[in-house]
Amino acid sequence: FHRIIPGFMVQGGDYENFDGTGGECCNGGTFPDESFVISHDREGIISMANRDAANTNGSQFFITLGKCLHLDGKHVAFGQVVDGMEAVRNMAAVETDEKKKPVAMQRI
């Protein structure tokens, strides 16, 4: 996990550079948005991170740390944490730098 914003989300999935600058999908490039059925209405929602535009999903994702309704219709939520949310909360509490990157890499 390369980005942590307490009270908002933890972000990971950059398997290329591990810093948020990479993360093509498994087929290369990006893929289109699929569905906006699931709402970001509670903590633990797992959602696709995109490049601030529609249809730009890659491998990066985030887990919400609370209600984030402003993300509905912009980021495709595809699941929720069913076990282990305490580990996510603990990760969200680690020290970060001015760019919201954890001082020590966080891995689950």
8 catalytic? Reply is yes
Identify the bridge partners of residue 31 per DSSP, sorted by sequence position: 57
42 catalytic? Reply is no
Active-site position among 60, 62, 65, 106: 62
3-state DSSP assignment of residue 47: strand
71 catalytic? Reply is yes
Active-site position among 1, 11, 57, 65: 11
Residue with tokens 């991170």: 49
3 catalytic? Reply is yes
Looking at residue 31, its amino acid is F
Q: Classify residue 46 as exposed, middle or buried by CB count within 10 Å of its CB (0-12, 13-18, 19+).
A: middle
1 catalytic? Reply is no
Active-site position among 40, 57, 61, 71: 71
Active-site position among 3, 40, 60, 106: 3
Write out the catalytic residue numbers: 3, 8, 11, 50, 62, 71, 75
